[in-house]
Amino acid sequence: MSAALDASDEVLSGEAVAIDVQPIGFVLRAAGAIIDLLVGLAVFLSTIFLRIWLLDIGVLTQATDTIALIASIVISFVVLPITMEVALKGRSLGKLAVGGRIVRLDGGATGFRHAFIRALLGVL
């Protein structure tokens, strides 16, 4: 009877193969997302200070500052999450902190395409 209970706790892939991962709860997901959001905001704030300094010394004009603002938003909230998830094989700093990982249906690590779509949806 205990073997049947153990089998029901496993996650099955699309090919009906048992995967040795368990989904994490809502609270841990939210904590990981908050950590990731704080990291993105820290990077964005550092680019704001960099832009202010460059404006102050005369390197940036108003037009180039607008371009730098858009670039800093994209870097902070799209490029950074994609880079972290691809480099750490489905993890980010928040997911590392709470012990979570993004996996495909077959249990493998996600790739660039998955991370790109997740980052674009995260902006929304």
pLDDT value for 70: 95
pLDDT value for 24: 82
Q: At what angle do helices 26-57 and 80-87 cross, to 10 degrees?
A: 130
pLDDT value for 3: 47
Q: What residues contact 25, with CB distance under 8 A and at least 6 apart?
A: none
Q: What is the pTM of this model?
A: 0.74
- Token code pair at residue 6: 């153990």
In the predicted model, residues of the chain with pLDDT beneath 70 are 1-21
Name which of 34, 23, 42 is nearest 99 in CA terms: 23
pLDDT value for 102: 79
